[in-house]
Structure 1
Amino acid sequence: MNRPASLVGMEPLERQTLGERAYAQLCDLLVSGRMAPGEKVSLRSTANALGVSMMPVREAVSRLVADRALEVTPNRSVRVPVMSVTQFRELAAVRIVIEGHAAAEAARLRTDDDLVHIGAAESAFRRQSAMADPDAGLSVSLNKDFHFAVYAASASPLLVEIIRGLWLKAGPVLNLDLRASPERLREGGAVRFHADALAAIQRRDAAAAKAAIAADITGAADFIIGRGALAP
């Protein structure tokens, strides 16, 4: 059957949907810090885990390489990039500006429902951090949940999309902070900064909300750089 000229070049809907789903799943792994810098991505293993063929995974990986969230090495393997100290400092500086602005907007525009979501995320992270043997992987994910609950309250889908792009790069490095040790979770500043951000948003204090998120980003960056875990 001949297709109308306007439909020529369109891909089957199922294949396109699977590619989008694969992309979303891989993005979530990166943003949630469940993949580490230098970790290789096996297309075959990923396809098996997702229950799809290799094609949608290849499409998703190609998009993430274009996003610079993944990279192709000289031997053609795919991995999470290993960030240098200079690159990480630049990323942290950009995050402070953009995510700080989002937190300020959240304080200004938040609704009662937003406060419920932010409060629940803050409480979940705090409870996990206080455990005698906290789950480091879960803590990384809960940290992400708190931040994005705050940013969602900014009422700016575009701003949240930009921040997700930053976290595609930052997420794998952030796990070097929260996965470092149980002591880091209990004694680090994240719990305090999250509480400060929540309190500021509750009282609609935009400047304090911005400062709390900036302090959280700065504290994590200083710790990661201090550990010497990044490339020179």
Structure 2
Amino acid sequence: MNSSPALADLPQIERRTLAETAYDALSDLLASGRLVPGDRLSLRQSAAALGVSVMPVREAVSRLVADGALEVAPNRAIRVPVLTVAEFRALAETRMAVEGLAAARSAERRDAAELAAIRRAEAAFRAAAAAPRPDGARAVALNRDLHFAVYAACGLPPLREIIARLWLKAGPMINLDLRAHPERIVGGCAIRRHAEMLAAIEACDGPAAAAALAADIGDAAEFILSRGRLRET
């Protein structure tokens, strides 16, 4: 039996939706720091975890490879890239400029509800750091929550989209800092930098907010570089 030609005009809604869902889920794993550089990603295991077929996961992975957030190894394995020192420095410098702009804009235009959300996120990270045995994985997630609470108030959706793509690469690298070295949560600079950023946003001081945000990224970058876990070339 021949199928109706009209069927060819129907959009593949379900498949496209599943691919977007898979992309969002895998992006969250990367941005939230639940994957580290060098981790491998199985298409079949990812599909099983999401309850979908392999096809939408393959499409999502292809997008993430195009984004530079994942890479295909010579043996065809999908993995989180291990950046070179130069690549990491470039990523950190770009983040300081782009995310600093977002922090400055947020300080200058945030409303009461957005400021309250930033305060809650900063308090949550500070409370996690005060725990007797800080949970590195939770600290990574709370750090991301605070940063994105700040960026949500910048009023520039295209800027937030750029930052979201940067964090696909930054999340696993931040994991090398807070999650691998939970002592940094208590003794590091993150709490102080977060407090400085919050104070600047409360005071509507854009330059100070940008400076605190850039210092936060820079402090973490220097620590990661000091651990010698990046490729030289």
Q: TM-score range by the shorter chain?
A: over 0.9
Which residue of structure 2 lines up, in the alignment, with residue 185 of structure 1? Answer: 185
Matches within 5 A, 1:90-105: 90-105=90-105
Which residue of structure 2 lines up, in the alignment, with residue 44 of structure 1? Answer: 44
Distance 2:151 2:222 in 1: 23
Aligned mate of 2:5, from 2, 7, 19: 2
Which residue of structure 2 lines up, in the alignment, with residue 63 of structure 1? Answer: 63
Distance 1:52 1:58 in 2: 11
Distance 1:174 1:83 in 2: 12
User: Is the partner of 2:6 in helix, strand or coil?
Assistant: coil
User: Is the partner of 1:230 in helix, strand or coil?
Assistant: coil
Which residue of structure 1 lines up, in the alignment, with residue 173 of structure 2? Answer: 173
User: Is the partner of 2:35 in helix, strand or coil?
Assistant: coil
Which residue of structure 2 lines up, in the alignment, with residue 86 of structure 1? Answer: 86
Which residue of structure 2 lines up, in the alignment, with residue 135 of structure 1? Answer: 135
Alpha-carbon shift at residue 47 of structure 1 (Å): 0.5
Alpha-carbon shift at residue 3 of structure 1 (Å): 2.5
Unaligned runs of 5+ in 2: none
Q: Which amino acid aligns with 1:2?
A: P
- Residue 150, structure 1, aligned to residue 150, structure 2: yes
Distance 2:180 2:220 in 1: 11
User: Is the partner of 1:224 in helix, strand or coil?
Assistant: helix
Alpha-carbon shift at residue 121 of structure 1 (Å): 0.5
Distance 2:172 2:182 in 1: 18
Q: Which amino acid aligns with 2:128?
A: Q
Which residue of structure 2 lines up, in the alignment, with residue 124 of structure 1? Answer: 124
RMSD between aligned residues: 1.1
* Residue correspondences, number: 229
Distance 1:93 1:124 in 2: 27
User: Is the partner of 1:19 in helix, strand or coil?
Assistant: helix
Alpha-carbon shift at residue 11 of structure 1 (Å): 4.2
Which residue of structure 2 lines up, in the alignment, with residue 213 of structure 1? Answer: 213
Q: Which amino acid aligns with 1:22?
A: A
Q: Which amino acid aligns with 2:117?
A: H
Q: TM-score, normalised by structure 1?
A: 0.96
Which residue of structure 1 lines up, in the alignment, with residue 115 of structure 2? Answer: 115
Deviations 1:73-95 (Å, cap 9, x if unpaired)? Answer: 11101000000111000110111
User: Is the partner of 1:3 in helix, strand or coil?
Assistant: helix
| Identical amino acids, percent of aligned pairs | 56
Q: Which amino acid aligns with 1:134?
A: P
Deviations 1:95-151 (Å, cap 9, x if unpaired)? Answer: 111000000000001000001110111000110011111111111010000000001
Distance 1:11 1:146 in 2: 39
